[in-house]
């Protein structure tokens, strides 16, 4: 068996190399992303592993089919950039890594919220300027707040545990009820109720597709004054312009954003010596009440190792047994 792994970052290499040695399976490491051009390198290999934020071009899958490659294994969880129809047409199975570390994302969300509640961004900016005054950055305490968790999958549930540990009141919403969360009586009936009753709304749901936002001017109007939004899920869940306005005009206290609707091509790129064209993002960065990070919630040693190795294990299972526990249902 010979595998090829695309879009590999420096920090992933050692885990892939270790896996290759332990399992005695050749894995060619490619730093380029998977495109209609680079997929040509896969000729002669049995399976392709990849991670990228850019959409996967349909032509990639025609070429895979030509080469007799019928499994694509992703090193991440989100499959929103994969054209399912092209996979089906070419008889290609897809796997992801659904649970590389729910705790990584959950801990990030809580850390971001705590930083905002204690006004770290403004305080650090002041201290950098040798302004050591306290006011106006008086903090708020998590144990006094109601946290509304939207989405009670693995990440949402990990976040609930941490919030409860801090003494916050937790309420939750999900279309699909988890028995544990149900038993604790945390579910409210609908998203509107969650928005209305929460001091903090934290999003742990997948993308609903372009244009289908959960946080926008209409839903913000429903929210409590001074509420906070935390998003470490997908950028397109929020209308960022409308969120920014609500923070700027004082309706919302602030936000923690690890994802952004126009992040592709920007996040995880050094643009420090370039003209910056995204004026909205510029305003967000300047705001003392919006903490913005470049999609790093997942970025821990545990998660990166799991992404590298679980994707390869799924590939082996697909090639040896024709299926794996992480295979995506392309008809959903």
Instruction: Report the interface residues with ligand COI, using CB under 6 A.
Output: 76-78, 295, 298
Hey, what are 82's tokens? 């994969």
**Could you tell me which of 297, 327, 256 has the C-alpha nearest to residue 97?**
327
Spatial CB neighbours of 154, under 8 Å, sequence gap ≥ 6: 98, 99, 102
Residue identified by tokens 């290999």 is: 45
CA distance 82 to 79: 6
Closer residue to ligand COI, CB minimum distance, 100 or 187: 100
Residue 295: active-site member: yes
Minimum CB–partner distance for residue 222 and ligand COI (Å): 27
Which one of 12, 93, 204, 263 is the catalytic residue? 263
On whether the CB atoms of residues 244 and 218 are closer than 8 A, the answer is no
On whether the CB atoms of residues 151 and 205 are closer than 8 A, the answer is yes
Closer residue to ligand COI, CB minimum distance, 76 or 313: 76
Neighbours of 323 (CB within 10 A): 12
Minimum CB–partner distance for residue 74 and ligand COI (Å): 8
Which one of 93, 154, 234, 289 is the catalytic residue? 234
> 202: buried, middle or exposed (CB in 10 Å: 19+, 13-18, 0-12)?
buried
Sign of CA dihedral 103, 125, 216, 240: negative
Closer residue to ligand COI, CB minimum distance, 77 or 308: 77
Annotate 61-110 with three-state secondary structure. HHHHHHCCCCEEEECCCCCCCCCHHHHHHCCCEEECCCCCCHHHHHHHHH
Minimum CB–partner distance for residue 295 and ligand COI (Å): 5
Minimum CB–partner distance for residue 157 and ligand COI (Å): 17
Closer residue to ligand COI, CB minimum distance, 168 or 308: 308
CA distance 319 to 165: 43
Minimum CB–partner distance for residue 302 and ligand COI (Å): 13
Closer residue to ligand COI, CB minimum distance, 77 or 168: 77
Residue 70: active-site member: no
Minimum CB–partner distance for residue 325 and ligand COI (Å): 17
Hey, what are 76's tokens? 């991440």
On whether the CB atoms of residues 206 and 94 are closer than 8 A, the answer is no
**Could you tell me which of 7, 110, 2, 103 has the C-alpha nearest to residue 53?**
7
**Could you tell me which of 253, 246, 331, 256 has the C-alpha nearest to residue 290?**
256
Closer residue to ligand COI, CB minimum distance, 81 or 164: 81
Closer residue to ligand COI, CB minimum distance, 166 or 299: 299
Could you tell me how far CA 164 lies from the centroid of its own chain?
A: 22
Minimum CB–partner distance for residue 171 and ligand COI (Å): 25
CA distance 79 to 236: 14
Residue 263: active-site member: yes
Which one of 93, 154, 289, 295 is the catalytic residue? 295
Catalytic residues: 234, 263, 295
């Amino acid at each position: 068996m010979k595998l090829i792994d695309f879009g590999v970052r420096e920090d992933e290499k050692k885990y892939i190399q270790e896996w290759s040695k332990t399992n005695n399976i050749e894995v060619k490491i490619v730093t380029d992303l998977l495109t209609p051009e680079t997929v040509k390198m896969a000729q002669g290999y049995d399976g392709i592993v990849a991670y990228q934020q850019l959409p996967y071009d349909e032509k990639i899958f025609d070429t895979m089919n030509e080469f007799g490659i019928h499994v694509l294994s992703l090193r991440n969880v989100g499959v929103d950039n994969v054209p399912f129809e092209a996979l089906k047409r070419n008889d290609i199975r897809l796997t992801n890594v659904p649970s590389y570390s729910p705790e990584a994302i959950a801990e990030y969300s809580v850390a971001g919220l705590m930083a905002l509640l204690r006004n770290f961004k403004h305080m650090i900016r002041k201290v950098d300027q040798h302004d050591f005054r306290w006011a106006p950055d008086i903090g708020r305490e998590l144990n006094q707040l109601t946290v509304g968790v939207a989405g009670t999958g693995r990440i949402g549930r990990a976040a609930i545990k941490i919030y409860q540990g801090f003494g916050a009141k937790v309420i939750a919403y999900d279309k699909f009820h988890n028995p544990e969360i149900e038993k604790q009586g945390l579910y409210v009936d609908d998203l509107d109720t969650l928005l209305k009753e929460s001091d903090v709304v934290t999003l742990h749901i997948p993308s609903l597709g372009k244009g289908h936002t959960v946080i926008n001017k209409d839903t913000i109007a429903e929210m409590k004054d001074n509420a906070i939004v935390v998003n470490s899920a997908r950028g397109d869940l929020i209308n960022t312009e409308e969120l920014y306005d609500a923070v700027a005009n004082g309706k919302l206290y602030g936000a923690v954003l690890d994802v952004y609707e126009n992040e592709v091509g920007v996040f995880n790129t050094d643009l420090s010596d370039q003209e910056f064209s995204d004026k909205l993002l510029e305003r967000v960065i300047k705001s003392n009440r919006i903490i913005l990070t470049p999609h790093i919630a997942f970025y821990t040693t545990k998660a990166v190792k799991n992404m590298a190795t679980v994707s390869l294990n799924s590939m082996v299972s697909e090639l040896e047994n024709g299926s794996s526990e992480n295979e995506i249902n392309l008809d959903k």
